[in-house]
Structures are given as structure tokens and as C-alpha cells.
Amino acid sequence: MKKALYPLLLAAVSAAGVSAAVPVYLDPDAPLDARVEDALSRMTLEEKVAMCHAQSKFSSPGVPRLGIPEIWMSDGPHGVRAEINWNDWGHAGWTNDSVTAFPALTALAATWNPEMSALYGKNVGEEARYREKDVLLGPGVNIYRTPLNGRNFEYMGEDPYLASVMAVPYVRELQKNGVAACVKHFALNNQEKWRGNINVNVSDRALYEIYLPAFKAAVQDGGAWSIMGAYNKVWNQHCCHNHRLLEDILRGEWGFDGVVITDWGGAHDTREAALNGLDIEMGSFTNGLTSESEFTYDDYFLADPFLELIRKGEVPESVADDKARRILRLIFRTAMNTRKPFGSLHSPEHYAAAKAIGDESIVLLKNNGILPLDPARGMRVLVVGDNAVRRLTDGGGSSELKVKDYISPLEAMREVFGADRVEFARGYAAGRPMYERVDTIPQALQDSLRAEAVAKAADADVVVVFGGLNKNAWQDCESTDRESYDLPFGQNELIEALVSVNPNVVVANITGNAYAMPWAARVPAVLHASYLGTMGGASLADVVSGRVNPSGKLPYSIPVRLQDCGAHAFGTDSYPGVESAEGDVLFGVCAPQQTYAEDILVGYRWHDTKKIPARYAFGHGLSYTTFAYGKPAISARELRAGGSLTVTVPVTNTGAREGSEVVQMYVGDDKASVLRPAKELKAFEKITLAPGETREVTFTVTPDMLAFFDADAHAWRTEPGAFTLYVGTSSADTPARAKFRLVE
């Protein structure tokens, strides 16, 4: 356990009779910058440099001589990771580090509810604070570019506006606990294949319009205290010491005053790390997760090699001063914050929060009326699928969690429908939870499990399939991308076989990604859930039974085919990239080059602009009730610089039960001098309506919503002309429309 030394320092000073005065840096009432400068003035060069690199797998040094404590970090995209050994990746074996598993961030994004994001940040922050963590490595806000990205489940979808709105409350509420958010992975970490050295070529326009907004919002609106650099390269320079990303954009344009931390093993060069904006180097000389370092922490790029450059006069000491300033600021905000709350761990309130977020995140993609299933009917339910019983907090790399409790879908279905009415057949085998390797499953075993499930399905009243992906390698997992857009383990064949003997098949897949659905026309209902954590089974069973009315909306498009996705429309140059002759000693592979050829047309922007319909559109999600959109009323037909207008749309619950709807507003430029998407999300609001209730939803439109990034001028620009407002229930379903003109 770490010990904060500074409370003991005053007593020691007093006992020694040195001085009765309290040093400024120890005074919590002194201005932050005054505390930082006072502490910095007392530090040696060696102490400043020591703060810039790890001292263990998940901590970096403080200044023991001055009573300034170390910084303790934890992986935490959707829960605080179990304690790891000091100098290897083994679990420490503690008995008091079990936590609440909150839903994955792609589930949070699917709620389309900033209140859920605030609830998430507050509760995960309380667990991190109780576990004495100073930095929680999350949230992730990289954009969902391809369904093959193994880490999409850690992020917040394909739209920069949605990701921005959802990231800010998370960061704010997390940091109220005295725990720093470390927003990741900055930037363009949009795939895991070749993640350590792939070089991304992207236009400035796509960078500023698509890939940077969520980071900017987390920094400027959320006030994030730290940022994690990405593994990949951009403009032939690694992101963890990329001058343009870290110095020009992050600090220069956005005014970031926090700490830049590497992803584990993300530093590659001492001089670049020193001069290009990196503050704390973690995990060097490993691949970030598995291999044990053969070096000491003093061998890190920002350790003795950095100190040597300063002593030789090749790097000024002011560089170390700047890094130490930022690190001290982080320490005073977290480890030396004497007024932070105490936190709590896997409390009833945390379980309730996880359940509420999970409830709102489940997306009803299709329903011919079979759902909800009424438990009072006494039906015989067959539950099929490995994910019905698999603990989906295991695996995934850094997102693995040691949970105190976990409610599986099968357990919850038996609780809701009656244990004697619910039978189970696994249907397929998925192998043990592992990282960077998988079990080989004999085909004879898969055939046998499928045959068993089909035989039982013939006698059931209804079949509920809990399949999808899991957090093993080459699925939803750090360091590997998916190898296919299809569901693994023969699930497509399984679903087809089940439908052939029983037409009442409900598919309730659990996944952090889109996937092919060749059986979609044959099944009567499809539910789409992400990894929902501790309370996930309860959320799924409650939606299936109708205790909870689904209100989730897709945070990403689900293409019919992989090639319908913009990232896959230009060959291997665009994804996964093309290997070059240049080698990389650390990661042992050649350095691939990649061009984001779809440019700004990511996700629904591609589908709508190119008129390639998705199977299920961004923003889509049904309910057990229905909603009707009325005629929009626009406050003005002209919008001028500095002004605004409003659009008001009546929304009515036309069904028989209370439900929630996400009203979405998109804007399209009818005629532009540059390529623009058919429409872009600019506002949304989640409302709850009783049967027959109507509510008017009003959105305000300002000129900045209409701007595009002019790369030549390096500025946002608007063009006068006609625009259309699209209001509706998804990017492909916008029945309420209104036109206006932007005038000079």
C-alpha cells in the first residue's frame, strides 16, 4: 500500500526544531501554482528527472525527501483493475481489490444520456479513490473507424459530437473524487493491428473534424488533468512524443495544463520525449502488457539518458522544470489533495449505477412483436450461447477486471422466468479467456454443441441466444483486431439451425462491435448489448421480459458488409495499412503505412453521403412503445453571424407504455464548395414520455455548428447558403425537416 508522507512532514520538522513555518507547497490553501513553484524550487535536478518515468508497473516517483508522494495509476476503462505486482505483470493476489464492473464505454455511449455519463464518472471515481489510485487510465474517446478494431468497446462510438458530449461529464465527476482522468489514446489509435508503429496519414480536415473534438472537449470542457499518448505514429512520429500533437495542438491550441503519460511502452526516443511534450514514461521495453522488462527503470528514455542530455547541455534544465511543474500540479490535485472524499467500493449504490447504465444502453434493433416475453405466461425458454454463462469481465487486455459479483444472463433469466422454465444449451464453445492466443476448438465439439441446442430448441416455446463476441484475442481485445466481420465459432450457422426448428428465436448478442447478420431477415427480434459488467445479466433479462423498456441507440453504424464501411472501401492502403521495408526493433515488425482515404466520411457520414445504407443506422434503436414526430417549427429562416435560431419538434408517445426516446438533430449543407457529409449530428436530447404524452423538444442552432475546417487557413470556416435541419430517431430516419439560410 502506498503511504502519503506529507502529513508526517510537519511533525518531523517541528520535532527537529528546524522551522515553525509551513512550506508553501504543503499549504492546501495556497494557490496551486504557488505550491508548484515552491516545491520545484526545493528539488534537485535528479529529483525532477526521477518524476518523469515509472518506478514500478503502475507508479511513478514523488519526492520522498520533501514528503511529496508518488503517483499511483490503474487501468480503468470500466472499472479499477486488480493490483499488479511491482515489477511484473502478474496479479498481486490481494484479497481486497475486487471491484464493480461498470458497462464498457461503448455501452455508455449507447445510452445517449449525459446524466448516465456523470453517474458513471462519479461511481468509478469513488472506487478508484477507495483503492488509492491517483490516475484512472480512461476514458477512451478514439473514434470508431472500422468494426474490426479490437478496442472499439473501450471507446464512445463513431461520431465526434456524441463522444464529446458523453466524455465531459465522465471526466468532471471522476475528478471530483481527486482522481485524474487520463483521456486516451491521443490520437488516431483506431486499430490494434500493428498498433506499436503503424504510421497514420490523415488530412488536417479529418483530424480536426472527426478525430480531435472529443479530446478537445475532455480537455477544455471537462478539465482533464492527464492525457495518454497513443502507440501509433502520425506524420512519421510516435504519438507519445509527437511535437505537433502534444506541443502545437494539445498545449498550444487547447491550453492543456496537465500531464502527458505514455501508453505502456509508447516511448521510443529520449530526445523526442524530452523536447516534444511527454511528461511521464511508463512501461518502456515491454509490449505494454505481457513481457517482463530486462532493463531497469533508470534505463528508461526519460531516466538516466534524459539526465545525461541535460548534464551535457544538449537539453536545457528548463525542460525538466516544465515537466516537473506539470507533474507536481497533478500530484497536488490528486495524491496531495487533502480535501478529496474517501470513496467507496462495490457498494449497493455502485451496483445500482451499473444497472441503470446497462438498462439504458441495450439497443433493440428489430422486433416483430415477440418481445417483451411475459414471464406470467409460463413459457418454456431455452437459453443458448456461451455468453449466457461466460464472465465477460475476463480477458481484453488492460480492461480485465477482478469483480466481486457478476450476474450472468442465464442466472438472471432463471430468476425472472423461473428456474424450472429455463433450460440451457451452450450451442458453441469459445475457449478460455486468454490474451494474444486462443484455444483451438475441435470442430466435432462445435458440431455436438450445436446439435444439442437445436434438439432442445424444437421443444421450447422461445429460444433466446446470448452470443456475440467476447474479450479474447482477435475479438474485442487489446493488441489484436478481429480477423472477420462474421460472428466467430459458427454462430451464424447455429442461429440459422435454431430458426429452422423454432421460428421464435430472439438473438441478444453481446459485443463491443458491429458484425454481419446474414440471418437478420429470419429472426423475429434482435437485441444488441455491449459488455455490461457486474449487473449485465440483470439488465438483459429485464429488457427481454419487459421490466425495462429498451431505450439505447447505436453509437456506431452496423454495415451490411464490411466493404460497406468507408475504412474498407479503398483496399489495404486504408486498412490495415501496407508494410514497408523499415523495421522496428522494439515491436519486431516492419513499420506499415496507412492512409485514411475516406477522410471525413466516417461511419454514417459515409453511408449517408455515398448512399450505401447500413443494416442498422447510427442512432437507431427501437422501444416497446412507439413515437411520432410532428411538424418542426423554426424560429427564423435566416441565420447571421453571432446569432442563433431554434427548431422545435413535437414528439408523441403513440404506444401503450412509458418509454424514452433520443431526439436527434442533424445539419446538412445543401451546397458547399468542399466535400461535406450529407448530414452531421449537432444536438440530441433523451426524453421520457407517458402513453399519449407529447413534448416539444427545442434545439438551438448557431453558426459554429455549420462550420468546416479549412486546412489551408488552419481555421474553422462557414459558407453562406442553404442548410437543412434533420430531426428524428437515427441518421437514416429524420422525418422532421426544416430549411434555413446562413447569410453574411
Residues 251 and 366 in one domain: no
Question: What local confidence, expressed as pLDDT, does residue 88 receive?
Answer: 87
Model pLDDT for residues 583-622, shown as the tens digit of each residue: 544 444 568 999 999 999 999 999 999 999 999 999 999 9
When pLDDT is cut at 50, 70 and 90, the band that residue 744 belongs to is confident
Pick from 87-96, 506-515, 645-654: least confident: 87-96
DSSP 560-580: SSGGGSGGGSS-TTTTT-B--
- What is the three-state SS of 701-731? ECHHHHCEEECCCCEEECCCEEEEEEEECEC
Domains: count for the chain: 3
C-alpha pair distances (Å), 482 with each of 150, 391, 437, 569, 576: 6, 20, 13, 17, 11
Work out the end-to-end distance of the chain between its first and last CA atoms, rounded to an integer number of angstroms.
62
Is 605 in contact with 680 (CB distance < 8 Å)? yes
Asked, for residue 341, whether it belongs to a domain, the answer is no
- For helices 160-175 and 213-220, give the axis angle rounded to 10 degrees: 30
- What is the rounded CA–CA span in Å between residue 223 and residue 181? 9
Residues 323 and 366 in one domain: no
Looking up cell 477544455 gives 220
469-484 mean pLDDT = 95
Residues 325 and 384 in one domain: no
Residues 120 and 264 in one domain: yes
Model pLDDT for residues 189-243, shown as the tens digit of each residue: 999 999 999 999 999 999 999 999 999 999 999 999 999 999 999 999 999 999 9
Question: What local confidence, expressed as pLDDT, does residue 401 receive?
Answer: 95
Is 707 in contact with 718 (CB distance < 8 Å)? yes
Residues 366 and 430 in one domain: yes
Q: In this structure, what C-alpha cell is assigned to residue 739? A: 430549411
Residues 376 and 327 in one domain: no
Answer yes or no: is pLDDT of 409 > 90: yes
Strands 71-75, 59-60: pairing is antiparallel
Task: Tell me the one-letter amino acid at 250.
Answer: L
Which residue from 219, 198, 201, 204 is spatially nearest to 141, judged by alpha carbons? 219
Residues 273 and 375 in one domain: no
Catalytic site positions? 263
Q: Where are the beta strands (DSSP E) in 87-169?
A: 135-137
Asked, for residue 716, whether it belongs to a domain, the answer is yes
Residues 389 and 318 in one domain: no
Residues 652 and 721 in one domain: yes
Residues 519 and 398 in one domain: yes
Answer yes or no: is pLDDT of 15 > 60: no
361-372 mean pLDDT = 98
Model pLDDT for residues 450-461, shown as the tens digit of each residue: 999 999 999 999
Asked, for residue 613, whether it belongs to a domain, the answer is no
The total of other beta-carbon atoms located within 10 Å of residue 316's CB is 13
C-alpha pair distances (Å), 13 with each of 10, 231, 411: 5, 44, 59
Question: What local confidence, expressed as pLDDT, does residue 18 receive?
Answer: 46
Maximum Cα–Cα distance across the chain? 86
Asked, for residue 260, whether it belongs to a domain, the answer is yes
pLDDT higher at 570 or 289: 570
Q: In this structure, what C-alpha cell is assigned to residue 627? A: 413515437
Question: What local confidence, expressed as pLDDT, does residue 434 receive?
Answer: 84
Q: Where in the sequence is the domain holding 716, given as residue range(s)?
A: 625-743
Model pLDDT for residues 547-567, shown as the tens digit of each residue: 999 999 999 999 999 999 999
> If you compute the radius of gyration of the chain from its CA atoms, what whole number of angstroms results?
26
The mean pLDDT of the chain is: 95
- What is the rounded CA–CA span in Å between residue 613 and residue 91? 46
Which residue from 654, 405, 422, 460 is spatially nearest to 545, judged by alpha carbons? 422
The phi-psi region of residue 603 (left if phi > 0; otherwise alpha if psi is between -120 and 50; otherwise beta) is left
Asked, for residue 559, whether it belongs to a domain, the answer is no
Asked, for residue 596, whether it belongs to a domain, the answer is no
CATH number at residue 695: 2.60.40.10
Residues 169 and 239 in one domain: yes
Answer yes or no: is pLDDT of 632 > 50: yes
pTM score, whole prediction: 0.95
Asked, for residue 554, whether it belongs to a domain, the answer is no
Model pLDDT for residues 115-146, shown as the tens digit of each residue: 999 999 999 999 999 999 999 999 999 999 99
Question: What local confidence, expressed as pLDDT, does residue 98 receive?
Answer: 97
Q: Which of 483, 518, 545 is the last residue of a domain?
A: 545
Question: What local confidence, expressed as pLDDT, does residue 349 receive?
Answer: 98
Model pLDDT for residues 495-509, shown as the tens digit of each residue: 999 999 999 999 999
8-21 mean pLDDT = 54
Q: Which of 519, 545, 571 is the last residue of a domain?
A: 545
Q: How far is CA 164 from the centre of its chain?
A: 11
Burial 124-137, CB ≥16 within 10 A → b, else e: bbbbbbbbebbbbb
Answer yes or no: is pLDDT of 69 > 50: yes
CATH number at residue 427: 3.40.50.1700
Question: What local confidence, expressed as pLDDT, does residue 608 receive?
Answer: 98
Question: What local confidence, expressed as pLDDT, does residue 580 receive?
Answer: 75
Asked, for residue 665, whether it belongs to a domain, the answer is yes
Residues 366 and 291 in one domain: no
Model pLDDT for residues 662-693, shown as the tens digit of each residue: 999 999 999 999 999 999 999 999 999 999 99
Q: Which of 479, 511, 545 is the last residue of a domain?
A: 545
Q: Which helix (H) or strand (E) holds 183?
A: strand 180-186
173-197 mean pLDDT = 97
The total of other beta-carbon atoms located within 10 Å of residue 14's CB is 11
Question: What local confidence, expressed as pLDDT, does residue 396 receive?
Answer: 87
Number of H helices, E strands in the chain: 18, 29
Question: What local confidence, expressed as pLDDT, does residue 698 receive?
Answer: 98
Q: pLDDT exceeding 90 applies to what percent of the chain?
A: 92
Pick from 285-294, 397-406, 420-429, 430-439: least confident: 285-294
Q: pLDDT exceeding 70 applies to what percent of the chain?
A: 95
